[in-house]
Amino acid sequence: MARSLDTIRNQDCVEGMRGLADGSVDLVFADPPFNIGYDYDVYKDKLESDRYLAWSHDWTAEVVRVLKPTGTFWLAIGDEYAAELKVMLQREHGFTCRSWVIWYYTFGVNCKAKFSRSHAHLLHMVKDPKKFTFNNKAIRVPSARQLVYGDGRANPEGRLPDDTWILRPQDFPQGFKHDGDTWYFPRVAGTFKERAGFHGCQMPEQLLARVIRVSSNEDELVLDPFGGSGTTLVVAKKLARRFLGFELSKQYTEKIQQRLKRIRAGDPLDGAPEPLVSAPSTVNGRRLDDKLNGKPKSKKRAAGKKPGLNGKQRDLPGM
């Protein structure tokens, strides 16, 4: 199988995975159609519910088979089927759910008769709850002690992210607590530089990087059954993983191949920066004690600017 790796195949994922050997994949990340009527190139995203669940059972059964005993499966899914698919993965396929992560994003989908959707679900599943890859040092973020309090007792390596992912602590929404369970990454909106442009459901490279870093090691195989915009494969290549993807659309497949040709292992990730390299230091951050101590606002503060930043963020030691 080695000769056919590091590529995207224009093929149905069930058929494609059936051609892979048992226990040959280290990590699977899947962002399947949500069955909400999205206008894909060749796929009809509005199946009758039982048919959608039966199809989901078929392709996830292949995921179980191709994963190594120590392998990990991440599933991105919407509200409509998150609970049913979680139960299916646990009861019918024998997975253990390590985390149910909420991906909170800005630029959410505007709705008229309900609250605007600004999240998706990320189910973190493993085959063996005692033996699986979890590289916690690869994804640590600054703690409140580091960013807010300048506490010397803070672990210089930071802490593990919450189930709620906050990519940039300075953008932390009011109301989210530091011990919450939601991840924040900006959605790849149409005006973003990293936008590929040919697929409407593009995930941020930084989000995929967190998943790939924590659940795999260099030279291990990452599989994406639904190539889409190709971001999983692009990030896997940048992070020196082997990779393989399947995509039903010939057009999308060709676009993904073009993306892959433009990058090399070790290339920097696109999108919002990592927390450890982009968060402002405490001395340059918001001074919450000014009012309490009766200190007047500086001229920069009065002008609505953050002190010491001058429109740029100060780099901190990175990963």
**Residues 236, 221: Cα–Cα separation, whole Å:** 9
| Pairing, β 221-224 against β 25-30 | parallel
Task: State the residue for tokens 């530091």.
Answer: 178
Q: What percent of the chain has pLDDT over 70?
A: 66
What are the φ and ψ backbone dihedral angles of 186, each rounded to 5 degrees?
-60, 135
Most confident of 49-53, 137-141, 192-196: 49-53
244 DSSP β-pair partners: 7, 223
The answer, yes or no, to whether residue 188 has pLDDT greater than 90, is no
pTM of the model: 0.73
**Domains of the chain by range and CATH?**
2-277 (3.40.50.150), 282-319 (no CATH)
H-helix segments, the chain:
13-18, 49-66, 82-91, 144, 205-215, 231-238, 250-261, 275-278, 299-302
The mean pLDDT of 108-112, rounded to a whole number, is: 63
The answer, yes or no, to whether residue 283 has pLDDT greater than 80, is no
pLDDT tens sequence across 233-277: 999 999 999 999 999 999 999 999 999 999 999 999 986 544 334
Element housing 120 (H / E) = strand 117-126
Using pLDDT thresholds of 50, 70 and 90, give the confidence band for residue 24: very high
Closest C-alpha among 243, 273, 248 to residue 259? 243
Output the six-digit token pair for 195: 């936008």
pLDDT score at 155 = 81
The answer, yes or no, to whether residue 300 has pLDDT greater than 50, is no
The answer, yes or no, to whether residue 30 has pLDDT greater than 90, is yes
What are the φ and ψ backbone dihedral angles of 215, each rounded to 5 degrees?
-115, 10
What residues contact residue 95 under an 8 Å CB cut-off, 6+ apart? 64, 73, 89, 125, 126, 127
Q: CA distances (Å), 73 to each of 39, 103, 216, in order?
A: 26, 16, 11
| Pairing, β 242-247 against β 182-184 | unpaired
